[in-house]
Homo-oligomer: A and B are copies of this chain.
Amino acid sequence: MAGYFTIMETLSYHDLSMVVKFGVQFGLWGMSVYFLGTEKHHQKYLEDIGSLELPGCFAMTETHHGSNVRGIETTATYNHQNKTFTIHTPHIHARKEYIGNAALHGQKATVFAKLILDGKDYGVSAFVVPLRDKSCKLHPGVTIEDCGRKMGLNGVDNGLIHFNQVVIPKDDMLDRYSSVNDEGRFESPITSDNRRFFTMLGTLVGGRIGIPRSGLSAAKTGLTIAIRYGDQRKQFGPEGGAEVPILNYRTHQRRLMPLLANAYALHFGLQYLTDRFLKRSEEEMQEIEALAAGLKAWATWNTTATLQECREACGGKGYLSENRIDALKNDTDIYTTFEGDNTVLLQLVAKSRLTEFKQEFSNMNMFTIVNYLAGQAKTSITEMNPIAVRNTDEEHLLDPEFQLSAFRYRERDILTSAAKRLKRHIDSGMDSFDAFNVCQHHLVMVSQAYVERILLEEFRTQIERVTDAGCRAVLKKLCDLFALSQIDKNKGWYLEQGYMEGVKTKAIRKLVNQLCWDIRQDAVPLVDAFDIPDKLLSAPIAVR
């Protein structure tokens, strides 16, 4: 798995279509057989998948059901007489859509469908279904259409798949979490339908690690191009003097330096996520899933924002395809949607974070809640002493303890207030669906604050491991910029809470400007340190 992520990240320095083809084949098709199947499937398929002998697809999304996977309508009906399943698309809106590798190369697919047994619906299961033979002739009953031109990733053959009563042997049900026994009855090691469904989806968390790492590579590439260009491109200057590099302009620094800091923060944060995933135990899975979903959303939005700034920072040159920001931007634009729509993912993360209040929710145990919240309030009061809220000393603002406390306070307070708000709505008789809907925007903030706290903690942890003093000093500055620019972005919230006063947020803004100026001096070495080979970078304006 570690190698898989590294390859995905490295390929992403140059060609994103290749990355997605790679991810579909090994990550989605291969890993779904590996995690959802059992020994017999591993024996039958894994070697051919790994050697690319057997190109395949991952057919989950349907036209009418993307985010709401549970609502998919493709059926897999069991026939006990001949021990087969019949895979069927009931109507045009239930076709599998956007399926990578489908339009040209896929020979088989992991198909998600509702298992129907004796007329009863047992929920979503996965099946290996043939699409084409080795000569690329379509399997009888299978119809495939190309999705047509896309904004990016046109090197990926996304397709629409329609199944018309396609019969497969019983053994091709991926039966790790649900199966049909010899008597033709449903069996599962997990009795709760809900838990089974989420356990199945949980095995696919790897995609939510690969995608943000790929997106980060694209952002690093964009930053390398824009920062090298900004260091060389000159425009205007003092009266009668020489023109100056555009990266010496304060607005240019404000646009690019915080994004450079974000790239470093994400580099460490995604490394941490990967490590946690590789060493995972069963008990940690829920936390790791939330971490992956949260970081996936934060990182991919950051990629979109970074590449947009890089395009604009390179002016007309950034618009020319030869300088590659075009392709990087358009190829990664879908990252905020696939492997889980970011907004939907952040709702899931928030719900996972709220589980610490679950007990109180279900029991309506006011005493526990009040006690807990009182504990929160006490912490806050200690932190919010009148000196701290007005402290503008540089030493204080650059103190990792202050920064971490501010991030943690924000995370905790938003989570607590979201819980209280939800509880208030539910107590007043509101349907829980509506209560969560009313608080959606609040819940997005819960998840963002959580991710940002993790990113800051991991950035700090990594700096402590650096032994070279010069390198450490530069990373410390980047980390300060990451921390303070996040606080500056959220200053409205801190001021509303009374956690800081105006003098302090103004001092932070000033320090953010100063850090941008300081880091500009090391900006070129800092992107060179990404070590993207010039051949992959391949943008004429980025040539040193």
Contacts and interface: CB of A to CB of B under 8 A. Distances in A.
Given A251-B343, A491-B492, A333 B319 contact: yes
A71 B401 CA distance: 49
A528 interface: no
A308 interface: yes
B238 A433 contact: yes
B66 A235 contact: yes
Please state the number of chain copies in the assembly.
2
B239 A320 contact: no
Contacts of A239: 432-433
A497 interface: yes
Interface in A86-122: 97-98
Interface stretch (A148-156, A273-281, A358-366, A453-461): A148-156
A304 interface: yes
Given A66-B316, A67-B236, A505-B492, A326 B151 contact: yes
Interface stretch (A195-203, A215-223, A371-379, A435-443): A435-443
A482 B491 CA distance: 21
A389 interface: no
Contacts of A337: 312, 315-316, 318-319
A322 interface: yes
A537 B341 CA distance: 26
A390 interface: no
B148 A322 contact: yes
B495 A249 contact: no
B320 A336 contact: no
A252 to B, nearest CB: 8
Contact of A311 (B97, B333, B342): B333
A433 B304 contact: no
A243 interface: yes
Question: A-side binding surface: helix, strand, loop or mixed?
Answer: helix
A251 B71 CA distance: 21
A405 interface: no
A314 B76 CA distance: 29
A434 interface: yes
A386 interface: no
B502 A68 contact: no
A184 interface: no
A147 interface: yes
A330 interface: yes
Interface residues of A, number: 73
Nearest to A304: B308
Interface string A56-68: 0000010011111
A94 to B, nearest CB: 14
Contacts of A250: 437-441
Nearest to A505: B496
Contact of A495 (B98, B148, B236, B502): B502
Contacts of A249: 437, 440
A424 interface: no
Interface in A321-340: 321-322, 325-326, 329-330, 333-334, 336-338
A334 B308 contact: no
Interface string A141-177: 0000001111110000000000000000000000000
A148 B513 CA distance: 37
Contacts of A498: 502
A325 B341 CA distance: 18
A434 B238 CA distance: 8
23 contacts: A67-B235, A67-B315, A71-B236, A97-B316, A98-B316, A149-B320, A149-B326, A150-B320, A150-B321, A150-B326, A151-B329, A238-B434, A249-B437, A250-B440, A251-B343, A252-B343, A255-B343, A304-B308, A316-B338, A491-B495, A492-B492, A492-B505, A495-B495
Given A251-B440, A326-B330, 9 more contacts: A66-B316, A148-B321, A150-B320, A151-B319, A250-B438, A250-B441, A312-B337, A441-B513, A495-B495
